Amino acid sequence: MILAEAGEKPGRPPIGGRLAVLLASELAGALGVEFFNLTVVWHLVKLLGANSAYYLVIMLVCAVVSGVFGAGLFERVRPFRCTAGLNAVRWVAAGLALACIVGHWMLPLLLLASLCMSASRPHLDAALIGGLSTLGLDDAAMQRANALVDNTARLSRIAGPGVAALMAWTGGETLALMLTLVCFAGAALLQWHLDRQTGPVSRPAAAERVSYWSGLFSGFRLAGRSPALVYCFVSQMFNAGAWYLGFVFSAALVLSSAPASGPRLGGLGGFAVATLCYGLGNIAGNIVTSRASIRRPMHLVVAGRAVAAVGYFLLATAGGALPAICLFAAVIALGTPPADLAFLKMLQSGHDWHAVTKLYRVKLVAEYAGMLLMMGSAPWLLSLMPPAGVITCCGVVMAVVALIGYLLLKKKVFVSPAYLNPSAPSLS
């Protein structure tokens, strides 16, 4: 059994039982986020039209600011208590959104609910990953647990839109948001139960003496001591930005100009199919990576970026042919799970849960910053070249990122003496 129960303290539930509760709570919370986002975005599009595009920019800025300035506050709370509390906040925000839509309340209140949702994201996800390190799993079990947590989040992104659409068709926005409330309530209760099962977890003595202001950038300072982590964060920033600009935005533009039938099927239906194939590629990459032992995580990170680069170059040649777009979207998606799981392996091999939480929050902030950077460049790039050219630029960016990683590997920059913990395994 990968979730061995050896070494369990008397009176504690088995590790496998606690992991099952964690996965169930993650799934409930992730589905709630999908239901909320789709319902609110659709409502804003009806109200504001094209101006609703500013909504995503505001939400990303909120996530970046919250990820930085909330670090000193949320790092003082043990992980599963933090996730339970934040899911309770999300429940209140979803209730406010429901009241705004049903009661036709002022639009600023609906935006406030969305801001609460966006601000909670970096802290909840970071605490969830940090909490994994408190379950007492050995290396093999931890790798499988990481894969399960990663795949649960990815499955929710596939299932969530479908379920939300079904709810909207049968009961409208009201029913979809009521289901959101059920999901967040379930996630909060499960994580509160998990916090009680896990019990108190120790924090490093140095962390107890850190003030709020000193803790704001402690994750960035911690990451800056390791060339391997710096590369991971920078490459993830460009990977997330390329995904948004090269796939979500540019591929949608390509499909929007394609006919609604035939092999060049376009429109919303075509983009939904392409997005589904991207999600399936993510899951396939996760399954393949989870079946192998991650002995050289940095090699896997660099390889993942190279695979993404190849996928973007192929996608740029697809034109409006939906089968080709779907296939090449899956190729792009194959590169992300190996890099993500290798990154988690690095964190959990050399850090306690408190440092893991800090560093994973930095990763999320880097992702949001990358998406904002690429969003800002989109109008300028599209004024110079067609969408296929923009997709090619994303491929060039990821190829350069992979090449830099390869050269650093060749120079042995990522060997363990450059890492934070001299006793940690080599990261090369």
10 within a domain of the structure (yes/no): no
3 within domain boundaries: no
Whether 6 has a pLDDT exceeding 90, the answer reads no
- Within the chain, what is the greatest distance between any pair of CA atoms? 66
Residues 250 and 125 placed together within one structural domain of the fold? no
Q: How far apart are CA 46 and CA 171, in angstroms?
A: 17
Is the per-residue pLDDT at 427 higher than 90? no
Q: Name which of 137-146, 261-270, 328-337 the model is least confident about.
A: 261-270
Last residue of a domain, one of 215, 247, 272: 215
pLDDT value of position 74 = 78
How would you classify residue 6: left for phi > 0, otherwise alpha for psi between -120 and 50, otherwise beta?
Answer: beta
CATH of the domain at 151: 1.20.1250.20
Q: Which residue has the tokens 């094209």?
A: 50
Domain match, 262 and 182 both: no
99 and 181 fall within a common domain: yes
Mark whether 194 and 162 lie in a shared domain. yes
Nearest Cα neighbor of 37 from 94, 92, 87, 91 is 94
Q: Residue 129: phi, psi to the nearest 5?
A: -70, -40
pLDDT band at 14 (very low <50, low <70, confident <90, very high): low
The encoded tokens of residue 426 equal: 């080599």
The pLDDT of residue 328 is: 94
Per-residue b or e along 162-196, where b marks 16 or more CB atoms closer than 10 Å to that residue's CB: ebbeebbeeeebebbbbbbbebbbbbbebbbbbbe
Are 249 and 380 in contact by the 8 Å Cβ rule? The answer is no
425 in a domain, yes or no?
A: no
Split into its structural domains, the chain has a count of 2
What whole-number distance in Å separates Cα of residue 278 and Cα of residue 325?
Answer: 10
The pLDDT value given to residue 182: 94
Query: Which domain-ending residue is among 215, 250, 266?
Result: 215
Of residues 234 and 146, which shows the higher confidence score? 234
d(CA 222, CA 72): 14
The Cα–Cα gap between 82 and 305 comes to 32
Statement to judge: residues 133 and 186 lie in one domain:
yes
Which region, left, alpha or beta, applies to residue 191 given φ > 0 means left and ψ of -120 to 50 means alpha? alpha
Same domain (yes/no): 162, 242: no
421: in domain: no
Does some domain include residue 8?
A: no
Instruction: Name residue, tokens 């396939």.
Output: 284
Any domain includes 141: yes
First to last CA, the chain: 29
pLDDT tens-digit profile of 90-110?
999 999 999 988 887 778 888
Residue 291 per-residue DSSP state: T
Lowest mean pLDDT among 14-28, 166-180, 302-316, 389-403: 166-180
**pLDDT value of position 4:** 41
Question: Which of these ranges, 217-226, 345-354, 366-375, 415-424, has the smallest mean pLDDT?
Answer: 415-424
**pLDDT at residue 26 tops 80:** yes
- Among 332, 334, 340, which residue's Cα sits nearest to residue 398? 332
Domain co-membership, 127 together with 276: no
Task: Say if residue 169 is in the same domain as residue 316.
Answer: no
Give me the chain's average pLDDT, please. Answer: 80
For residues 299 and 306, the answer to whether their CB atoms sit within 8 Å is: no
- Residue 229 within any structural domain of the chain: yes
Instruction: Indicate if the pLDDT at residue 177 is higher than 70.
Output: yes
Tell me, yes or no, whether 29 and 99 share the same domain: yes
pLDDT tens for residues 204-254? 544 545 566 666 677 778 777 888 899 999 999 999 999 988 887 787 777
pLDDT of residue 9: 43
User: 42 with 71, same domain?
Assistant: yes
**Rounded Cα gap, residues 172 and 98, in angstroms:** 11
Please give the radius of gyration of the chain, using alpha carbons only, rounded to the nearest integer.
Answer: 21
Give the whole-angstrom CA distance, residue 105 versus residue 376. Answer: 32
| Structural domain boundaries enclosing 138 | 15-199+210-215
pLDDT band at residue 426 under the 50/70/90 scheme: very low
Task: Give SS3 for 65.
Answer: helix
161 lies in the same domain as 268: no
Residues 259 and 289 in one domain: yes
Q: Using the 3D structure, point to which of 215, 250, 275 is the last residue of a domain.
A: 215
Tokens of 364: 């999320």
Please state, in angstroms and rounded to a whole number, the distance separating the CA atoms of residues 318 and 265. Answer: 13
**Which has the closest alpha carbon to 347: 236, 188, 262, 205?**
236
> Is residue 6 assigned to a domain?
no
pTM check: above 0.85: no
